[in-house]
Structure 1
């Protein structure tokens, strides 16, 4: 005999897991945004010689620095 879960039970357990993981996702996003801000500040400080060593053109640097921190 095959047993199935009722849709109500499935939705309730999903809601509990989503609510519990929400603060972790917020924290993870905040940490990601901070890393992006930090790395872009470092990228902005590189001179042309260091950019060339890293294989990054001026236009690529400008493109990266133009992005908002959430992208």
Structure 2
């Protein structure tokens, strides 16, 4: 069975681009992983449980602000 390998997201985005399905799926996975981190891991990345919980519960269409910048 062949698996689809998705390329990594880059920091640069074209001015007129919108969030692609690939971007949204990556965001969904990142938020799910964030919700699973323990206290030590959250501390390592500079977050507390309240901040991590708030970020992980954001709806999928609530994308990072830099995706909207022109």
* Moved >2 Å (runs of 4+): none
Aligned counterpart for 2:40 among listed residues 44, 49, 52:
49
In the alignment, structure 2 segments of 5+ residues that lack a partner are 1-16, 63-70
* Cα RMSD, aligned residues only: 1.7
Largest Rg, 1 or 2: 1
Normalised TM-score (structure 2): 0.57
Which protein has the bigger helix share?
Answer: 1
Question: Which one has more relative contact order, counting CA pairs under 8 Å at least 6 apart?
Answer: 2
Normalised TM-score (structure 1): 0.56
